[in-house]
Amino acid sequence: MANVISEEDYLRQYQILLERFQKFQADDPENERFLRMGKNFKRLQNAYSRHPFFVVRQMRAIEKYHLVFQGEQRSVMIEMVELLKKLLWEKKLSREKF
């Protein structure tokens, strides 16, 4: 069976992106956009074991709101979307029963 991304790799990459996002959030703590996206990022911590529909829903929310960010902030959002795409491929290739 092909292994696109393991759970340990997902969690490691997730923590790196979360730390980068929290650094931006600390610079502007009252920004409503950061608060909204912060909730989405925290939900993704246990996405590896969740149903693929949950992952798709969160990925679409990030894709929708990444347009309001600029520069490095937007790059963090895009990297998270790419990480979620890898996770979806992993779920599709493993063919787990949900």
What's the mean pLDDT in 74-91?
90
Range ranked top by mean pLDDT from 28-32, 67-71, 81-85: 81-85
Look over the chain and give the mean of its residue pLDDT values, rounded to a whole number. 85
- For the cut 90, the answer to whether the pLDDT of residue 11 exceeds it is yes
Structure tokens at 65: 């709101």
pLDDT, tens digit, 9 for 90 and up, residues 61-74: 888 887 788 888 88
pTM higher than the cut 0.75: yes
C-alpha 87 chain-centroid distance:
10
| pLDDT score of 3 more than 60 | yes
- What pLDDT shows up at residue 96? 56
Nearest CA-CA partner of 46 in 90, 75, 87: 87
The candidate with the shortest Cα–Cα distance to 88, out of 73, 8, 80, is 80
